[in-house]
Structure 1
């Protein structure tokens, strides 16, 4: 049985446990042996085993259930979210935005408050007022879409939207510089119709309009 021999014992113990999980020694959902069993196998003390388990729990591989033990929750370390976004192309990001924002628009129509609606209307007005400067236009357009996601009252959707935003902004600005076509009356009207659907609590229309707008954006970027 391979044992830890060098410094950083907890780190090495965590890697050894991860290797054993990857090899299939413990199946997904299976309970790990106790500290008194794992410690001599790894050649470390029980406190080091506890720290190794905490590390793998923080990486999403293990979970500790009070009174029950430690269980395998993943067979591999989940990839860092930022790394996924860095590798994704812009079309993939837009497709993910469609999934997020179409649902957020429907939820916003059902859950929006008067304060949410005022924020959406203010962002819409700023969007109408900023049609000459590309970077400013993209900025206020993002504010409008974010106001809708916030109105869905789902913090996970807001966090996901905020993760996508930096990836989308640069591509949007580059695209508009090439096309020199942005801020048209038709485009502003499409955003106004989306705001109206949310104000009218028409979830189906809000979702459809959001999906249509982002679908057009996807086509423009390909």
Structure 2
């Protein structure tokens, strides 16, 4: 597909998509040195600043790389997968396994590092989870995630908190599916309340082993359900 002038509208997006197509369709194979900014601007009928922004977008997608003094080169024909997108496409069992790894360690750190404010936040989140049990599945899942977010925050590790924040949207989608798939609230509107209450108590008392064990047991039980063959 040869390059051609672009129509007015979001020119950066158009330029990015046109050049991306050149790469993904094999017109510019890996190792190809792209035309210079002036040549690209002339061919596409846009300004150099538009070309520059489009090249930044392609670099952000992992398709091209600028080499000082040499130009811009194609380094991949498929865009790199972004982390949120990868999580959204992942199997629920894979998401849950990662959740277990992250949160069990967060529980240990929370029991060791929690402050009075953290304990208050956990207690409030536990009460919020109990109140949300009267609502629909989405509201209950949101309250459950809020409690686990408070647990991670109590670990006092900003990187861990950022990781959970990236993880939470995909986790929310999977949990809503999970509640429906396993029928977790058909017979009990507030499943796991006693376990979560024990978890909050363990963190409050500074019992690292208990906090980790309680959470690990709960998550392992759910994961075992997910691995069972469906009729």
TM-score, normalization by structure 1: 0.66
The residue that corresponds to 2:57 in the other structure is 55
1:150 to 137, 150, 153: 153
1:212 to 184, 193, 217: 217
The residue that corresponds to 2:184 in the other structure is 176
Q: Structure 1: give runs of 5+ residues left out of the alignment.
A: none
Q: Displacement of 1:114 after TM fit?
A: 1.8
1:101 counterpart = 2:109: no
Change beyond 3 A, Cα 1:183–1:134: same
Q: Structure 2: give runs of 5+ residues left out of the alignment.
A: none
Partner secondary structure for residue 3 of structure 1: coil
| Worse overlay, 118-127 or 131-140 | 131-140
Change beyond 3 A, Cα 1:195–1:5: same
Aligned residues: 217
Partner secondary structure for residue 78 of structure 2: coil
The residue that corresponds to 1:194 in the other structure is 199
Q: Cα RMSD between the aligned structures?
A: 4.4
Q: Displacement of 1:216 after TM fit?
A: 0.9
CA distance in 2, matches of 1:109, 1:71: 50
1:167 counterpart = 2:174: yes
CA distance in 2, matches of 1:197, 1:65: 54
| Worse overlay, 61-70 or 210-219 | 61-70
| C-alpha contact (below 8 Å) 2:87/2:167 kept by paired residues | no
CA distance in 1, matches of 2:57, 2:213: 43
Change beyond 3 A, Cα 1:31–1:191: farther
The residue that corresponds to 1:113 in the other structure is 115
The residue that corresponds to 1:4 in the other structure is 4
Q: Displacement of 1:80 after TM fit?
A: 5.8
CA distance in 2, matches of 1:74, 1:123: 45
Q: Displacement of 1:74 after TM fit?
A: 6.2
What whole-Å deviation, never above 9, does each CA across 1:8-28 have from its counterpart, x for those lacking one? 66445434543565557456x
